[in-house]
Chain A
Amino acid sequence: MRLLNLLKIAFKAIVLNKMRTLLTMLGIIIGVASVIAMLAIGEGSKESIRETISSMGSNMITIRPGADDRGPARGSGGNVQTLTLQDYEVIKAKSELLSYITPVVNGGGQVINGSNNWPSTIYGVNPDYLNIKVVGLQSGSMFTDAEVSSASKVVIIGQTVVDNVFPDGQDPVGQMVRFNNIPFKVIGVLEEKGENTFGQDQDDVVIAPYTTVQKRILAIDYLNQIMASAISEDDAPEAVTQVTEILRSQHKLLDNVDDDFHVRSMEELISTFSSTSEMLTILLVAVASISLLIGGIGIMNIMYVSVKERTKEIGLRMAVGGKGSDILMQFLIEAILISITGGVLGVILGLGSTVFIEKFLHWPTNVALYSIIISFAVCAVTGIFFGWYPAKKASALDPITALRYE
């Protein structure tokens, strides 16, 4: 009965003072909405940076033969022949953290088409290569596993090669070129990728089945490297360890012997990414805390002032018999109603503006649940506390003191 009466009183007070209620709520609405929208933009950018970086092949793993330190004259890793097709088969069979894997053999040579020629590098790989390098074809198609096993004389060429050996703009797909005087049929053109982080032209390549390159061009039976990609970027370090173990047992290395190979993930890229994303996270937290702080101060001010200016009303309510606890309860109910309604409206506005930003400004956004929870909680708690605290102080006064308050 008493609580019901107080609910009615609080509700009446809210309805009677529409403007005050609206302004108070506005503080909470803006506070909650801005934090949600800002964090959504931040999280969206973070996500899009993550995507950009992983599209560069951040989960790529390369396995190269190690330097030869067995003889008196040390040779470079490129000259040793410790990496074999069997190694590739074993890794492919045993490691469950890799999504793609290809053997790689490479050699330099001259690409010739009629009177045009261009020095380039040929990479012998399997069809997984495109997925590992995260690159597509702009025309034509990739060679198949069947073409790999039959060592077909087909190539995919990069844009730089196209520009130089097909200068008159004809479609290279279906044409014949010669690489080191061996004729190949061009079956596809790689998407342009531009230069990599180290300034290397990634379009200056010729890609062919590794069998073809091994047998017909280089005449070797070992591999220059093995390339793979981990299932996810987070799995990359684990995959490196796993591959190392597989290779050590495959190469029958004793515990006291160093690896005769090198397994590398895109460590540099990953660490760049993680430092970028850490910075973004710090930035986000800073921006969100500042907006929450400002929103909180705004809510605090308007709640404090609007309750303070009602000191006289509090005095009157006490003069006609309202107990201190009645008054407090009324203001608490008012503050809760206003804060919760404002919070809910703020969440709606925040989500709405996020959708707007995504649709019309084309900024990537990503609404995080934690941003909704935290902003709602902080604004509601601030609103409730500063609606309650001045009322608490006013209700502790003698009625006449509160009534005389101007």
Chain B
Amino acid sequence: MSKEIIKIEDLTREFIMGAETVRALRGISFTIKEGEFVTIMGSSGSGKSTLLNILGCLDQPTSGIYEIDGVKMKDLSKNQLATIRNEKIGFIFQSYNLLARTSALENVELPLFYNSKVSSEERRDRAIKAIEMVGLSDRKDHTPSQLSGGQQQRVAIARSLVNSPVMILADEATGNLDTKTAYEIMSIFQELNKQGITIVFVTHEPDIASFSNRTIVLKDGNIIQDKINNKVLSAAEELANLPKQDD
């Protein structure tokens, strides 16, 4: 079928905390094909965020192989990794990580500043398009402190989209949000997935996982379950079915 975009083999990650060695990942292997929507689940401390950070080239594995499009990440220099992060990966953090006192639009533009192939006009156009896609056109000049949590997360999503990445990695992107907002965010992800972007989504909420077509469950640094979800729910429909709340 479609090609493998992510391939990991026997991946481990150990943290040295003083005298103790914490083994966050204990030899994990899986592959993700282009166009998949994968959720990684597990309780806290199961290693799911560590795994996602490695997938996002933000962190290095202690051992094991990580390939994107057949390229071994271990062989790349720091600058080449930066280029991968810039051009192939959109990363969304649980805590948004927006630049304070900077408008939503400028936050979204940020990755393009580090891509010298993009002119300043193109940068502006693409940022506006990305911000439209997450439905925040009317808030594009607001700074993060003037936006709600859900809106900040949308800005972060727009920022991850702006470089037209092949995959988006989201670390508990709905963790801080109420159900309604979470479903709104999920419907954006499903929309992006339909456009062919691979999504890896870390969460600990089972209802979020039901919007994806594959769920990998981690426990204590090992994969304990990897199953295909045959009955993918539509976040947009679920959103409509939510009981009306008094705002």
Residues of A in contact with B (beta carbons under 8 Å apart): 1-2, 5-6, 8-9, 12, 16-17, 312-313, 316-326, 398-401, 403
Contacts and interface: CB of A to CB of B under 8 A. Distances in A.
B99 A320 contact: no
Secondary structure at chain A's binding surface: helix, strand, loop or mixed? helix
A19 B164 CA distance: 36
A400 B101 contact: no
A5 B113 contact: yes
Nearest to A398: B59
B189 interface: no
Given A1-B116, A12-B102, A320 B59 contact: no
B102 A321 contact: no
Contacts, number: 72
B137 interface: no
B86 A321 contact: yes
A1 B112 CA distance: 12
A318 B86 CA distance: 9
B159 interface: yes
Interface in B82-132: 82-83, 85-87, 91, 93, 97, 99, 101-102, 106, 110-111, 113-116
Interface in B43-81: 53, 56-60, 78-79
A96 B205 CA distance: 101
Contacts of A322: 82, 86, 113-114
A399 B79 contact: no
B97 A321 contact: no
B101 A17 contact: yes
Contact of A398 (B60, B111, B115): B60
B169 to A, nearest CB: 10
A320 B60 contact: no
A8 to B, nearest CB: 7
B159 A320 contact: yes
Given A319-B97, A320-B86, A398-B60, A325 B116 contact: no
23 contacts: A1-B116, A9-B113, A16-B99, A316-B97, A317-B110, A317-B114, A318-B82, A319-B56, A319-B58, A319-B85, A319-B91, A319-B97, A320-B159, A321-B86, A321-B114, A321-B163, A323-B78, A323-B114, A325-B79, A326-B82, A398-B58, A401-B59, A403-B97
Given A2-B116, A5-B116, A317-B110, A323 B97 contact: no
Contact of A324 (B78, B83, B159, B163): B78
B232 to A, nearest CB: 29
Interface of B: 53, 56-60, 78-79, 82-83, 85-87, 91, 93, 97, 99, 101-102, 106, 110-111, 113-116, 159, 163
Nearest to B97: A316
A172 B13 CA distance: 107
| Of listed A321, A322, A323, residue having the most chain B CB within 10 A | A321
A305 to B, nearest CB: 17
Nearest to A325: B79
A313 B114 contact: no
A5 B109 CA distance: 11
Nearest to B117: A1
A400 B58 contact: yes
Nearest to A326: B114
A386 B38 CA distance: 44
Given A320-B85, A398-B60, A8 B113 contact: yes
Contacts of A319: 56, 58, 85, 91, 97
A316 B92 CA distance: 11
Given A400-B58, A403-B97, A320 B106 contact: no
A320 B78 contact: no
A8 B124 CA distance: 14
Given A321-B87, A323-B82, 10 more contacts: A12-B106, A318-B82, A320-B110, A321-B83, A321-B111, A322-B82, A398-B59, A399-B58, A399-B85, A401-B59
Contacts of B99: 16, 313, 316
Given A313-B99, A398-B59, A321 B85 contact: yes
Nearest to B96: A316
A17 B100 CA distance: 9
Contacts of B116: 1-2, 5
| Of listed B85, B111, B114, residue having the most chain A CB within 10 A | B114
B82 A324 contact: yes
Nearest to B95: A403
A323 B102 CA distance: 21
B79 A323 contact: yes
Contact of A320 (B53, B91, B101, B102): B91
A320 B58 contact: no
Nearest to A8: B113
A8 B119 CA distance: 13
A400 B82 contact: no
A129 B57 CA distance: 90
B152 to A, nearest CB: 13
A320 B79 contact: no
Contacts of B159: 320
Contacts of A16: 99, 101-102
Contacts of B111: 320-321
Contacts of A12: 102, 106
A51 to B, nearest CB: 56
Contacts of B82: 318, 321-324, 326
Nearest to B98: A316
A321 B115 contact: yes
Nearest to A1: B116
| Of listed B86, B159, B163, residue having the most chain A CB within 10 A | B86
Contacts of A325: 79
A82 to B, nearest CB: 90
Contacts of B59: 398-401
A316 B97 CA distance: 7
A328 to B, nearest CB: 12
Contacts of B91: 319-320
